[in-house]
Structure 1
């Protein structure tokens, strides 16, 4: 862990403890609010019969995210080490489970960087005809350019994150004001909205569960600050504030967006729309509405790419320090940036962009991110029993009841994800199985690699 040396001087090659709640909120908004809130409402509305249930599903998904933040905050405050879920898994379960969680998290996050970069390229081509057909080159340039800015140091990365997240929030605020102020509202639905073909043949309870799964995917990202534990000035205080405050902010934003969509379009107008926000904007701004939403999407994706690159680059650093990856990956420059971690993560993302394999990674990612939830909630139970006297600057509110409820919902959700996408879930399990020989090879050389292993 990076520390401040005697006389206030920082040893060269350590992560800088310079981040606060402002960055924590920015990185949470940055890696959570993206394409999901633009695309998901239409999919969910097509499953449900009325606006009340539609909004209730978004509220329930937000309650689950907040419950997760209230519990995982204990782990983030207890283990202020950069690296994300890998750090929790290693302390609770040992090296091999930690390797699996770290390895899959690393590649899944890199896949997200590539997917978000492609969205930037596609939207840029729609805004500027001269750029059409060059979305891959634009995506590579976007991911690489943001990485170059971050390479200068964590202060540069944090400044870009703060600015891009603030711009994203401001643009959404502009849209919300316009939606509520510039339209009298849609005529109220006089009958239940027609459910999508196929959705109408399944029981309402099943439709609600499927809609809730999509909502929970859209809320994913509330835990972003756990990747920066040792870089937060006062982790015992600021990690919980960032995580819980970020979750509350996202819940408020998502509810307002969906209330605005219902106000402008009604539920039947939202149902089936690929980008419902774009449809609503077109109703107010005409042909310029689509361009405005594309600008919102580009800014949102830049903010998300910044967050994911900051997060992803810290996973291999933690693994390298523990002897599971070459020691060179844990090298950190004078500005507090894990140079090799950033370079390797960006390289993986660019490879995914060039090969188009990010789509497969995105499909597999759902299994792994829910597995992370399950692991984190189990870790709280394990460490409460194994280490009852360990310092806990923040204790999960309502434990064991809230933690148990969060774990139960996560297990059910994981089972639903496996059932809904069996093929990709099987592929995910094969990846888990194949990780063992990779781990054994890396572990064999780990002692010679890392002087930080502990």
Structure 2
């Protein structure tokens, strides 16, 4: 491969990075907490595992749908690219702005949590948690500033460390005897009364309630799409990254829940605010709390790296099409959109200094569910309007898969509107701010998607190669 020209995104990423991006963008500290919420709704071990399996199937169907879009339109910008192609420039700009804001809010919260954890684990540092959060953001920003190769290497390393940490926790849990056989003061957990069996009607409602935190914990499976333009072979590697990433996360989540159910009874799991910490106390006594905090820290660091790398690609795509000031178009010799990176870090730092995240996180969670729904609508629209569009990967379950995803996502959003109307409406209002950003210039024509496959130039990245 020839050396990429400076000032442009570089096609240097492969399947290994794609899988690392999907795993790193999905698995955070939430999996250490969510199993207790799910158990509180369902009780029976088989129902708990079934809920996690259903959540993984939902994410897998979404990955199949998005794999077709990503391989057909391998351009930087994430969900913006598909919305712009299907619904026009203004609609696409609204989606891109929303996506970038949600990323920055999520990044600020993860960085804040990381600062608090590091201050707890390393009190000798003597630094305020908020300062540690800002240093973490700056540190990962410097890694990305070096270039896409440095960013991808750090992503692969951190995702590997994250998977290894969780697998080690799973293995340690299974090495213990079953929960009913554990004896001794280290395992004397207060067990609430056994949960009553559910009737079929109550079971359906309980399963729906349990699926909400499960689906939220699977958020991030679409992370590879933000780097579509930088894959050497997007037609092949993007679908494999999306689908393989979901399968890897699904397997890990099932293992984690099975391990927790091995050492804790369903009632203990349901009554715990941090079930992984209770399991860790059985493993390491008083040191179990530090152990689980260390695992959470590894998970959060990988998530920071993913978001710091992905969010600037959204702004870069918007700027290239005239929907954001041209400052975000600057790209260094290493292939990093430095202008967009600087703006992302600046907004995130301002959010960290602002402090309160309760409402912002609720708003971001609502927006994160809106984005795949827009992608599904774009998929259906482009299938109907552009049947000749080169599709290196075609969704095998069309139209069943997109309709199922649309149904679940719509139900999720309707529930959020009813249960948290204020934050949901505020999220829509925040997204609407994107309409106020003036268009700078006409969008560029995407050569890889506007040109038939046979006329696509031969270098890496040609769809359908």
* TM value normalised by structure 1: 0.92
Q: CA deviation at 1:404?
A: 1.5
Decide which of 167, 192, 195 is 1:193's aligned counterpart: 195
> 1:451–1:55: structure 2 CA closer, same or farther, 3 Å change rule?
closer
User: Aligned partners of 1:109 and 1:283: how far apart in 2?
Assistant: 36
Is contact 1:112-1:358 (8 Å) kept? no
Q: CA deviation at 1:273?
A: 1.8
1:246 is matched with which residue? 245
SS of 1:286's partner is: helix
1:83 is matched with which residue? 77
2:119 is matched with which residue? 125
Q: CA deviation at 1:451?
A: 8.4
Deviations 1:127-177 (A, max 9, x none): 123357711011110011110111000000001101111011111111111
User: Aligned partners of 1:229 and 1:38: how far apart in 2?
Assistant: 30
Superposition pairs of residues 27-426 of structure 1, within 5 angstroms: 27-131=21-125, 134-186=128-180, 192-193=194-195, 203-426=202-425
Runs of 4+ displaced beyond 6 Å = 188-191
User: Aligned partners of 2:177 and 2:116: how far apart in 1?
Assistant: 29
Superposition pairs of residues 3-42 of structure 1, within 5 angstroms: 8-42=2-36
Q: CA deviation at 1:452?
A: 4.9
Point out where structure 2 has 5 or more consecutive residues left out of the alignment.
183-190, 447-465
User: Aligned partners of 1:207 and 1:184: how far apart in 2?
Assistant: 27
User: Aligned partners of 1:87 and 1:20: how far apart in 2?
Assistant: 21
Deviations 1:32-85 (A, max 9, x none): 000110111112211223222111111111110111111110000000011110
User: Aligned partners of 2:285 and 2:3: how far apart in 1?
Assistant: 57
Q: Alpha carbon RMSD of aligned pairs, Å?
A: 2.2
Is contact 2:327-2:340 (8 Å) kept? no
Q: CA deviation at 1:125?
A: 2.0
Deviations 1:257-312 (A, max 9, x none): 00111111111111132221111011111111111111111111110000011110
Is contact 1:323-1:453 (8 Å) kept? no
Is contact 2:42-2:206 (8 Å) kept? yes
Is contact 1:265-1:280 (8 Å) kept? yes
Is contact 1:186-1:263 (8 Å) kept? no
* TM value normalised by structure 2: 0.90
Q: CA deviation at 1:358?
A: 3.8
Q: CA deviation at 1:419?
A: 1.8
User: Aligned partners of 1:211 and 1:23: how far apart in 2?
Assistant: 32
Deviations 1:292-343 (A, max 9, x none): 1111111111100000111101000000000011112111100000001111
SS of 2:179's partner is: coil
Q: CA deviation at 1:397?
A: 1.8
User: Aligned partners of 2:323 and 2:220: how far apart in 1?
Assistant: 26
Is contact 2:94-2:432 (8 Å) kept? no
Q: CA deviation at 1:87?
A: 0.7
User: Aligned partners of 1:132 and 1:42: how far apart in 2?
Assistant: 33
Q: How many residues are aligned here?
A: 437
Deviations 1:153-209 (A, max 9, x none): 0000001101111011111111111000133334699984269xxx99x94422221
Q: CA deviation at 1:9?
A: 4.4
> 1:90–1:186: structure 2 CA closer, same or farther, 3 Å change rule?
farther
Is contact 2:6-2:334 (8 Å) kept? no
Moved more, 335-344 or 406-415: 406-415
> 1:433–1:318: structure 2 CA closer, same or farther, 3 Å change rule?
closer
> 1:100–1:21: structure 2 CA closer, same or farther, 3 Å change rule?
same
